[in-house]
Amino acid sequence: MSKSERPNQLFRNLNAKVASIPMVLTALVIFVGGSAWTVLYSFTNSKLLPRLNFVGLDQYYRLWSTPRWLVSIENLLVYGVLSLVFSLVIGFILAALLDQKIRFEDTFRTIFLYPFALSFIVTGLVWQWLLNPEFGIQGVVRGLGWESFSFDPLYNSDIVIYGILIAALWQGTGLIMCLMLAGLRGIDEDIWKAARVDGIPTLKTYLFIIIPMMRPVFITALVIIAAGIVKVYDLVVAQTSGGPGIASEVPAKYVYDYMFFAQNLGQGFAASTMMLLSVVVVIVPWAYLEFGGKKRG
Amino acid sequence: MADLAVPLPAGTGSIGLEASGPRGPKPRHVFSRRNIFLYGTLIVVALYYLLPLYVMVVTSLKGMPEIRLGNIFSPPLEITFEPWVKAWSSACTGLNCDGLSRGFWNSVRITVPSVVLSIAIASVNGYALANWRFKGADTFFVILIVGAFIPYQVMIYPIVIILREIGLYGSLSGLVIVHSIFGMPILTLLFRNYFTSMPEELFRAARVDGAGFWGIYFRIMLPMSLPIFVVAIILQVTGIWNDFLFGVVYTRPDTYPMTVQLNNIVNSVQGVKEYNVNMAATILTGLVPLVVYFVSGKLFVRGIAAGAVKG
């Protein structure tokens, strides 16, 4: 560091460069290199081992004509849209309720957030037990005398994805609530006073003044939820293992199964490339709106 | 509440206070319609959130005959700790019947070094990015942050190949490296932002006094940023302990972390389902992050907020 003559450009700040080697390696080798590698090999017919034997878009044609993949995509869409809407709505309502200067706020917040500390495996297994048709909620209600009561999402392929959604919302809404609460606390008290002076009802104040002001918080929440949706895997594995049949399969599980069980690497790579593409489709417009918009404005 | 703080003139009762005109905020009725609605909703929602935890605990304390007869919400008639003992020491996954204890110790041996290594790397990275910018550093940082959004599935297989090449595939050390890699974006961001917010003069003064890169890091930055280290530890302990995907991809059955072993115990198709043992095992697995959560309190919230809010 303390050399007397002007040091060579490469050796300037040498310690910082050495210290950044892990970051540089991770960024280049794993994130860029790994992704490029997977995309490249998705155009090959690799089976048990990755081989550079290009077959064009064959893997993608096969992917989009596999019923299991189509079911996975449909599930992801249903799950994604619903969890996005419900997380935001429930998270915001809970935050708004907690923001009413109530007593025991810390206790309520602790209760709403604790599931977030638990893993998806634990969450999935608990809800598998609660939704067990024989002993769980359905069994209990039937035991009370309502014999025809039916609530067995995990064993009914038409509604199984909603069973997973219930568990996911239980686990994740606490986080959204916390973000929203922080956003609500960040709003100037004077806004509320002004709205009250003007005689605007509370509900309208929330809908037309507060929520538009919290746009950055909503966008952050949106990005977090969206990133979580694409990655959903453990919850499904724990709760249903993709069943009944293939009714609750998701893309992440498809990738894992084809790579490590079916020994059809090419399919796994093609499916994971589609996942990457879906993230790009979400992230790029967001980045454009966030950062491109600022430059224009 | 607030009008209690108003000093009462001697001899005036509550009526006298009212007569002297309103002072302070309007007193609220405890049982106003608003309060009933507000607290009613909150309590119902809180019960919904607590229900699964309650059912887990209650189920794990019952015997199997009682579970078959009764209802999952009823408290146990006869409390038994046998399911807990069995889950810990003799529950079966495939041919292994040594319980969750093996997974627990594997998870400890994965989590501790992963947390230490990932935080060590990320804090130095963040420090270099905040105070020792070199040409191109920000480019790598942007790649790192964008990389955090790439689905893990895209990078899983190349890492399998790399680990296989260096002979760490299937070992605990391999998994530790993987956790350090994927913890890097969020932790680097956390530390970079924290170090950037520290007064620049501090850094300059240390440089004038002749301290170098590591000297400033260890003597000034590290001691002054203990809170952010605690936040990072909380974030990483819960995150790594709860991981399933990396555990199942990069370890073998004898090195499985607790979450993977738990899933194998509960979702194994062989044998009679022992729901009480399953629930005891589930609680045991959830216990470490739950304890971290309840002990750390506000810091946990700060950690996830820091982890969640980018920028």
Quick check: A92 and A184 in contact, CB under 8 A?
no
Q: What is the pLDDT of residues A52-90, one digit of tens each?
A: 888 989 899 999 999 999 999 999 999 999 999 999 999
Q: Report the DSSP beta bridge partners of residue B251.
A: B170
Residue of B124, B157, B186 to mutate, testing the A interface (most A Cβ within 10 Å of its Cβ): B157
State yes or no: pLDDT of B70 exceeds 80. Answer: no
Q: Provide the CATH number for the domain formed by A59-296 in this structure.
A: 1.10.3720.10
A165–chain B nearest CA distance, Å: 15
Go through the domains of chain B in sequence order and give each one's CATH number.
Answer: 101-308 (1.10.3720.10)
**A276: pLDDT confidence band, cut at 50, 70 and 90?**
very high
CA-to-CA distance for A38 and A43, rounded, in angstroms? 9
How many A/B residue pairs have CB atoms within 8 Å?
Answer: 256
Interchain CB contact of A281 with B (< 8 Å): no
Q: Which residue of A has its CA nearest to B125?
A: A20
Chain A residues in contact with B245 (beta carbon < 8 A): 233-234, 252, 256
Query: Cβ B38–A33 below 8 Å, yes or no?
Result: no
Q: Which pLDDT score, from 0 to 100, does residue B8 have?
A: 39
Contact with chain B for residue A112, Cβ under 8 A: yes
Q: What is the pLDDT of residues A133-180, one digit of tens each?
A: 888 888 888 888 888 888 888 888 888 999 999 999 999 999 999 989
Q: What is the mean pLDDT of chain A?
A: 87
CA atoms of A117 and A120, how far apart (whole Å): 9
Q: Decide if A175 contacts B49 (C-beta within 8 A).
A: no
Residues in chain B: 311
Query: What tokens were used for A211?
Result: 């929520």
Pick B45's closest partner by Cβ from A94, A220, A283: A94
pLDDT (0 to 100) of residue B57: 93
Instruction: State pLDDT tens for residues B177-198.
Output: 999 999 999 899 889 988 988 8
Instruction: Please report, for chain A, the start and end positions of each structural domain, with discontinuous segments joined by +.
Output: 1-41, 59-296
The dihedral over CA atoms of B149, B152, B158, B163, expressed in degrees to the nearest 10, equals: 120
Chain A CA closest to residue B258: A121
Give the one of A13, A27, A271 whose C-beta lies nearest to B143's C-beta: A27
Instruction: Give the closest-approach CA distance of B11 to chain A in angstroms.
Output: 32
CB contact under 8 A, A220 and B41: no
Q: What is the rounded average pLDDT for all residues in chain B?
A: 84
Whether residue A110 lies within 8 A of chain B, CB to CB, comes out as yes
Q: Which residues of B touch A127 (CB under 8 A)?
A: 52
Cβ–Cβ gap A23/B262 under 8 Å: no
pLDDT of B89 over the 90 cut = no
Per-residue pLDDT tens for B287-298? 999 999 988 877
High-pLDDT (> 70) share of chain A, %: 94
Closest-CA residue in chain B for A180? B305
CB contact under 8 A, B147 and A140: no
In the predicted structure, residue B79 carries a pLDDT above the cut 80 = yes
Among left, alpha and beta (phi > 0; psi -120 to 50; other), residue B291 is alpha
Residues B237-256 have a mean pLDDT of 92
Residue A39 is predicted with a pLDDT of 94
Cβ contact B309–A179 (<8 Å): yes
Structure tokens at A234: 């453990």
* Interchain proximity B149–A102, CB inside 8 Å: no
Q: What is the pLDDT of residue B175?
A: 94
Q: How confident is the model at residue A288 (pLDDT cuts 50, 70, 90)?
A: confident
Q: Does A64 touch chain B (CB under 8 A)?
A: no
Q: Which residues neighbour A177 within 8 Å (Cβ) at sequence distance 6 or greater?
A: A90, A91, A92, A94, A95, A98, A109, A112, A113
Q: Is B32 exposed, middle or buried (0-12, 13-18, 19+ CB in 10 A)?
A: exposed
- Is pLDDT above 70 for B305? no
> With an 8 Å Cβ cutoff, is B47 touching chain A?
no
pLDDT over threshold 80, residue A1: no
Q: What's the pLDDT band for B18 if we cut at 50, 70, 90? A: very low
pLDDT at B270 exceeding the cut of 80: no
Q: Which residue has the tokens 């130095």?
A: B124
* The pLDDT value given to residue A63: 92
Do A121 and B143 lie within an 8 Å CB cutoff?
no
- Which pLDDT score is estimated for B29? 65
The CB density around residue A195, as the number of other CB atoms within 10 Å, is: 18
Distance of alpha carbon A133 from alpha carbon A160, whole angstroms: 13
Q: How far apart are CA A223 and CA A84, in angstroms?
A: 10
Are the beta carbons of B290 and A119 separated by less than 8 Å?
Answer: no
**B266 near A CB under 8 A:** yes
Residues ≥6 apart with Cβ < 8 Å to A233: A120, A250, A252, A253, A256, B244, B245
Q: What percent of chain B has pLDDT over 70?
A: 87
What band does B124 get if pLDDT is binned at 50, 70 and 90? very high
Quick: pLDDT tens for A184-227: 988 888 988 999 899 888 888 898 889 999 988 888 888 888 87
Name the residue facing B152 among A113, A231, A271 (closest C-beta).
Answer: A231
* Res. A4: pLDDT tops 70: no
- Per the CB < 8 Å rule, is A256 touching B244? no
pLDDT band at B23 (very low <50, low <70, confident <90, very high): low
Q: Is the pLDDT of residue A6 over 60?
A: no
Q: What residues 242-261 of chain A have any CB closer than 8 A to a CB of chain B?
A: 251-252, 255-256, 259-260
Which residues, at least 6 apart from B1, have a Cβ–Cβ distance to it below 8 Å? Answer: none
This model of the complex carries an ipTM of 0.87
Mean pLDDT of B146-157: 89
